[in-house]
Structure 1
Amino acid sequence: MAEDLYEQLHAAFRWQVPEDFNIAEACCGRWARGTPKATAIYFDSESGCRAAYSYAQLQRAANRLSNALLNQGVRRGHRVAIVLPQRFETAVAHIAIQQIGAVAMPLSMLFGAEALEYRLQDSGAVLAIVACEALPALREVKARCQALRRVLVVGDSPVAGDELPWMEALQAEEARFKPVATKAGDPAILIYTSGTTGNPKGALIPQRALLGNLTGFVASQNWFGFDPFDAGKPTDAVFWSPADWAWTGGLMDALLPTLYFGRPIVAWQGRFSAAKAFELMASYGVTHAFLFPTALKAMMKAHPLKDGRPKRHALKLRALMSAGEAVGDAVFAWCRDALGVPVNEMFGQTEMNYVVGNCQALWPARPGSMGRAYPGHRVAVIDDAGRECAPGEVGEVAVHARDRHGEPDPVFFLGYWNNEAATTAKFTGAPGDSWCRTGDLARQDADGTLWYEGRADDVFKSAGYRIGPGEIENCLLKHPAVANAAVVPKPDAERGALVKAYVVLAEGHAGDAALVTLLQDHVKARLAPYEYPKEIEFIEALPMTTTGKVQRRVLRLRELERAA
């Protein structure tokens, strides 16, 4: 059991945010000068292409791209879209854009034409750096994105019109560049939220937000190998996450913080599978990882516990973080027993990321909990009026714009792009001096431990009982026939709603009436009588966001349409 150093860390912690700060210098420039031969990126792909790139190589490529961007008319404050998978060029793009004071706008490779068009139009992006695989969708909408003047194409694809091959653009430029100076509060990244309620909103992230992420990152990785006082010293720490670098989890929880500490990160360009996850972690000696719950569930089902840890792979894992959905005690126990490391759950949002979580090395974790506020962040559960709830009372998780010492918390976004009304609605008062709502429900113990109750729009009532889907889904997942599950309300005239479960079957199991009864009995034996799913529907795959979260909203709408 870890010694509980939580209160000691919190009381002693003070933010030290310099007036001038730039992500490119912090994540690459200083390492290119200090440890130029150190590996920054290990690249691996489904095609079999593998490479290792040093910090010096990353800096030289970024310098060439910065010069190219300036020659294409990109200036300070301009938005530059990045539609790339995990690969070396993605890291180059982020460093280069920050060096000229422009704003990086990462976009998922999974986005179709409509999703790309909305974000490109709304942001007014002037240039896009696009993988050839995403080029058809971008070409379909480019004519309607009036601000978009040039497209840099990464990969082997014929170019047309105002498109320019990546290699040609970089080879024409010098490998020397003098970065601009930026303030810590200057805009750096524009990330669009998933848009589960209405159109996606662009969260404008300042340079300093990376610093605001670091206490959570270091704590969730158990401090070892990412100690701020150890930065620059030799270490065998290697980071990997399948999280897409186009969203907050992949960019702010994996790529940028790993580079900030001068460590190497594995870039895997390919589809996720449990087998590939074990293979990558073994072959690259991964010591620290971020694996979202859907990934861990797939790995658990592929390698159920038999004699302890999986024997096919010699893993070096020292820390594991998970976020996006509640892990649940079944997955928690598997990580501890099969992978050899208890998972540190983390909670955050694009607008204020990495604010709550666990750190097994420095304070005891309670399995199934969200954890406690990380050092430097003030977190509470509030009611509809913005008042802090009593311990054990369910309310909305909120983060205060000032820490416990009254100092501004650097983790916060600057606001929603061209949407002042949405920014104002996010806070209970003045944006710089009040609670910021998350839309997630939880209850808080007296010691600050948070227990997730679900999204505010995921919780429903059935026959007067308040139903949170997470506990039921976690219970279903413990049955060997279940690979994944999502619980939603089914409209019912008598009860208001019935508990309905959508279940993805594990390999080798058939979805029949007998299994429905078995699963219902399984839940009845473990949870309250009103929580068992009155109806179970077997489904090939659950609808997911590009960030790996289950889209219960899609399933709820399906039930509403059927009822109508």
Structure 2
Amino acid sequence: MTLASAYDRLHAGFRWKVPPHFNIADVCCGRWARETPEATAILYEHENGQTLACTYGSLQAQANRLSHALQRLGVEAGDRVAIVMPQRVETAVAHIAIYQLGAVAMPLSMLFGPEALAYRLQHSEAKLALVDESAIANLLAARAECPQLQNVVAVGGAQGQGDHDWTMLLAREPAHFQPVVTKADDAAVLIYTSGTTGPPKGALIPHRALIGNLPGFVCSQNWFPQRGDVFWSPADWAWTGGLMDALLPTLYFGHPIVAYQGRFSPEKAFELMARYGVTNTFLFPTALKAMMKAVPAPRERYTLRLRAIMSAGEAVGDAVFGYCEQQLGITVNEMFGQTEMNYVVGNCGWFVDTTGAPHSAWPAKPGSMGRPYPGHRIAVIDDEGRECPRGTPGDVAIHRHDVHGQPDPIFFLGYWRNDEATRAKFTGDPADSWCRTGDTAVMDEDGHLWYQGRSDDVFKAAGYRIGPSEIENCLVKHPAVANAAVVPKPDAERGAVVKAFVVLAAGHAGTDALIEQLQAHVRGKLAPYEYPKEIEFIDALPMTTTGKVQRKVLREREAASVKAGAA
């Protein structure tokens, strides 16, 4: 079977099966609690050394008690319930409890300050919030601006500071609960975009979206699950990458996921994967870059069972790609998706046919985002909504229907209280439309997509179209560079020049000589017009809570600096 035929056969034979009634809680926990209650669901570790193993039976019993408690506090089907907690057992319990109640889970990052929390809590009209010690102070500071927030349930070290304590609430409730019957199209999650292109928008995700995510999860994890698979990712469960790319799909397949409550570090990542025998992971490029610089030869220090790495959020680049192949023995499966429609493009090292035989699928090309996963119809389109010729940059778009004309279940329901933004997301007849991602890419003759950047990150300098990711990847290959971000700096003659912000690797100093070295390094590998005319060393890049570089912040900083200099 050739690579082309393997890929084509997967697509041709794939059909969506979406039942009219479907609930995430039942498929991710309820059925396993009935069938294999003693199976491990979560392997929890706190940075202080505390550990805990939670079974599917225990997860379901706690969720049942919490569902009763939420009902008693007035939460009804459709109500938004905020979850402001890190990776911990109670976070998973909260999700299961909210889904089986028919309410809508609204995960929020524990890193949000009072202003960010207030905006989302107020905008969503959340009725109740579940919060632990990591965010209780900020949530209470935000509460005055959120009149709809009726109850705050304090968890863990936050107990005693809210309206109710988690332990007391659950202790008085029964361990059995009759789940609400939900339709596949009913809302399950309200998750806010990272706000890289404007104010955060609340994407309303239906229960069926989990089904839409499964082909991408299975493929990107090299045909998950295999016997003995254990999953871990540092991705915060408060955003799509942690929730839909890690927690929920792992539970859907009844396997254990490692939950680590603590700060990320490259060494800790390797320690966790070695200690728990992690086989599958999602590591965003910023994490992989840090691991590459801090632990250049990981297999000399750690015994690892890794068999698959998925990466997304930014372009991986061939520097990181080569590190994973050479030092970890793993070909990274890059993936592309969004909060609104996740897991639509990516790679797969191998797949299993109907006889159980393994086949090579579509291994990653270094630097490519991959190809559409089975069940998704993807194109690169122009401003008028027409498909671009192969090799021509355009906006990556997803069709509402797959190649067989079936509705794609991965689609979000729309933006919360923002019909105008929802309409603007789509191009063409509503019944036969493309959904724009806002990300620019090129599709080659084989159907592989090559990322250029967010549409508003791509710029022109001296008449040339510049995508930041290629230059950033080139800079990171230099041993002195830990991370980099490229933006346009306004220029009277050329419109803009390429400017790079560089985070130095440990042991290196930012000198004029190093600037010249880095410029020569890029000039010798890329087109002459792509090398950064200006380089500024910076302690840390501005990042979203989802691990994406906020180039918009750097662009605005440069524009303001140039304007001030001209005044």
Moved more, 3-12 or 280-289: 3-12
Q: Counterpart of 2:528? A: 529
**Is the 2:385–2:428 Cα contact (8 Å) retained in structure 1?**
no
The answer to whether the aligner puts 1:72 opposite 2:79 as a matched pair is no
Q: What CA deviation, in whole Å up to 9, does each residue of 1:84-121 have, x standing for no partner?
A: 00000000000000011000000000100011001111
The answer to whether the aligner puts 1:222 opposite 2:214 as a matched pair is no
Q: CA deviation at 1:3?
A: 4.1
The answer to whether the aligner puts 1:311 opposite 2:300 as a matched pair is yes
**Is the 1:132–1:154 Cα contact (8 Å) retained in structure 2?**
yes
The answer to whether the aligner puts 1:331 opposite 2:317 as a matched pair is no
Q: Counterpart of 1:230? A: none
Q: What CA deviation, in whole Å up to 9, does each residue of 1:334-365 have, x standing for no partner?
A: 11111111100000001110000000112232
Q: Counterpart of 2:374? A: 375
Q: Counterpart of 1:187? A: 187
Q: Counterpart of 1:146? A: 147
Q: Pairwise mapping of residues 226-241 of structure 1 onto structure 2 (< 5 A)?
A: 235-241=227-233
**Is the 2:396–2:438 Cα contact (8 Å) retained in structure 1?**
yes
Quickly say closer, same or farther: Cα 1:430–1:45, change in 2 above 3 A: farther
For 1:342, what is the secondary structure of its paired residue? Answer: coil
> Separation in 2 of the partners of 1:313 and 1:283?
9
**Is the 1:303–1:310 Cα contact (8 Å) retained in structure 2?**
no
Q: CA deviation at 1:366?
A: 1.1
**Is the 2:83–2:131 Cα contact (8 Å) retained in structure 1?**
yes
Tell me which amino acid in the other structure corresponds to 2:555.
Answer: R
Q: Counterpart of 1:253? A: 245
Q: Pairwise mapping of residues 279-298 of structure 1 onto structure 2 (< 5 A)?
A: 279-298=271-290
Q: Counterpart of 2:167? A: 167
Tell me which amino acid in the other structure corresponds to 1:258.
Answer: T
Q: What CA deviation, in whole Å up to 9, does each residue of 1:491-546 have, x standing for no partner?
A: 11111111111000000001000100100110111011111111110000100000
Q: Counterpart of 1:56? A: 57
**Is the 1:285–1:316 Cα contact (8 Å) retained in structure 2?**
yes
Instruction: Give the structure-2-normalised TM-score.
Output: 0.96
Q: Which runs of 4 or more aligned residues in structure 1 lie more than 3 Å from their structure 2 counterparts after TM superposition?
A: 1-4
Q: What CA deviation, in whole Å up to 9, does each residue of 1:53-100 have, x standing for no partner?
A: 000000000000000000000000000000000000000000000011
**Is the 1:2–1:364 Cα contact (8 Å) retained in structure 2?**
no
**Is the 2:332–2:364 Cα contact (8 Å) retained in structure 1?**
no
> Separation in 2 of the partners of 1:463 and 1:301?
34
Total equivalences in the alignment: 552
**Is the 2:44–2:53 Cα contact (8 Å) retained in structure 1?**
yes
The answer to whether the aligner puts 1:355 opposite 2:344 as a matched pair is yes
Q: What CA deviation, in whole Å up to 9, does each residue of 1:250-288 have, x standing for no partner?
A: 000000000000000000101110000000000000000
**Is the 1:356–1:370 Cα contact (8 Å) retained in structure 2?**
yes
For 1:485, what is the secondary structure of its paired residue? Answer: strand
> Separation in 1 of the partners of 2:195 and 2:281?
27
Q: CA deviation at 1:430?
A: 4.2
Quickly say closer, same or farther: Cα 1:104–1:224, change in 2 above 3 A: closer
**Is the 1:403–1:409 Cα contact (8 Å) retained in structure 2?**
yes
For 1:92, what is the secondary structure of its paired residue? Answer: helix
Gaps of 5+ in 2: 351-360
Q: Counterpart of 2:355? A: none
Q: What CA deviation, in whole Å up to 9, does each residue of 1:459-482 have, x standing for no partner?
A: 111111111111100000000000
Q: CA deviation at 1:133?
A: 2.3
Q: What CA deviation, in whole Å up to 9, does each residue of 1:409-455 have, x standing for no partner?
A: 00000000011110000000344531000000001012211000111
> Separation in 1 of the partners of 2:198 and 2:264?
29
Q: Counterpart of 2:432? A: 433
> Separation in 2 of the partners of 1:157 and 1:188?
26
> Separation in 2 of the partners of 1:286 and 1:407?
36
Q: Counterpart of 1:562? A: 561
For 1:67, what is the secondary structure of its paired residue? Answer: helix
Quickly say closer, same or farther: Cα 1:93–1:2, change in 2 above 3 A: farther
Gaps of 5+ in 1: 227-234
Q: CA deviation at 1:146?
A: 1.1
Q: CA deviation at 1:199?
A: 1.5
Tell me which amino acid in the other structure corresponds to 1:561.
Answer: A
**Is the 1:2–1:363 Cα contact (8 Å) retained in structure 2?**
no
Q: Pairwise mapping of residues 329-478 of structure 1 onto structure 2 (< 5 A)?
A: 329-361=318-350, 362-478=361-477
Tell me which amino acid in the other structure corresponds to 2:313.
Answer: G
Q: Pairwise mapping of residues 509-524 of structure 1 onto structure 2 (< 5 A)?
A: 509-524=508-523
The answer to whether the aligner puts 1:126 opposite 2:118 as a matched pair is no
**Is the 1:475–1:523 Cα contact (8 Å) retained in structure 2?**
yes
> Separation in 2 of the partners of 1:420 and 1:330?
41
Q: Counterpart of 1:229? A: none
Tell me which amino acid in the other structure corresponds to 1:185.
Answer: D
Q: Counterpart of 2:113? A: 112
Q: Counterpart of 1:232? A: none
Q: CA deviation at 1:371?
A: 0.3
> Separation in 1 of the partners of 2:194 and 2:315?
18
Tell me which amino acid in the other structure corresponds to 1:297.
Answer: K
Quickly say closer, same or farther: Cα 1:48–1:400, change in 2 above 3 A: same
> Separation in 2 of the partners of 1:114 and 1:384?
35
Q: Cα RMSD (Å) of the superposition?
A: 1.2
Moved more, 252-261 or 361-370: 361-370
Task: Choose from 236, 239, 243 the match for 1:244.
Answer: 236
> Separation in 1 of the partners of 2:83 and 2:411?
22
Q: Counterpart of 1:231? A: none
Quickly say closer, same or farther: Cα 1:253–1:2, change in 2 above 3 A: farther
For 1:272, what is the secondary structure of its paired residue? Answer: coil
Quickly say closer, same or farther: Cα 1:432–1:207, change in 2 above 3 A: farther
Q: Give identity over the alignment, percent.
A: 69
> Separation in 2 of the partners of 1:388 and 1:466?
20
For 1:388, what is the secondary structure of its paired residue? Answer: coil
Q: What CA deviation, in whole Å up to 9, does each residue of 1:197-256 have, x standing for no partner?
A: 222110000000000000000000000425xxxxxxxx2100000000000000000000
For 1:132, what is the secondary structure of its paired residue? Answer: coil
**Is the 1:392–1:444 Cα contact (8 Å) retained in structure 2?**
yes
> Separation in 1 of the partners of 2:76 and 2:203?
20
Q: Counterpart of 2:86? A: 85
**Is the 1:458–1:488 Cα contact (8 Å) retained in structure 2?**
yes
Q: Counterpart of 2:14? A: 13
The answer to whether the aligner puts 1:500 opposite 2:492 as a matched pair is no
> Separation in 2 of the partners of 1:223 and 1:330?
25
> Separation in 1 of the partners of 2:431 and 2:126?
28
> Separation in 1 of the partners of 2:326 and 2:134?
39
Quickly say closer, same or farther: Cα 1:430–1:174, change in 2 above 3 A: farther
Quickly say closer, same or farther: Cα 1:430–1:163, change in 2 above 3 A: farther
For 1:447, what is the secondary structure of its paired residue? Answer: coil
**Is the 1:43–1:88 Cα contact (8 Å) retained in structure 2?**
yes
Quickly say closer, same or farther: Cα 1:470–1:105, change in 2 above 3 A: same
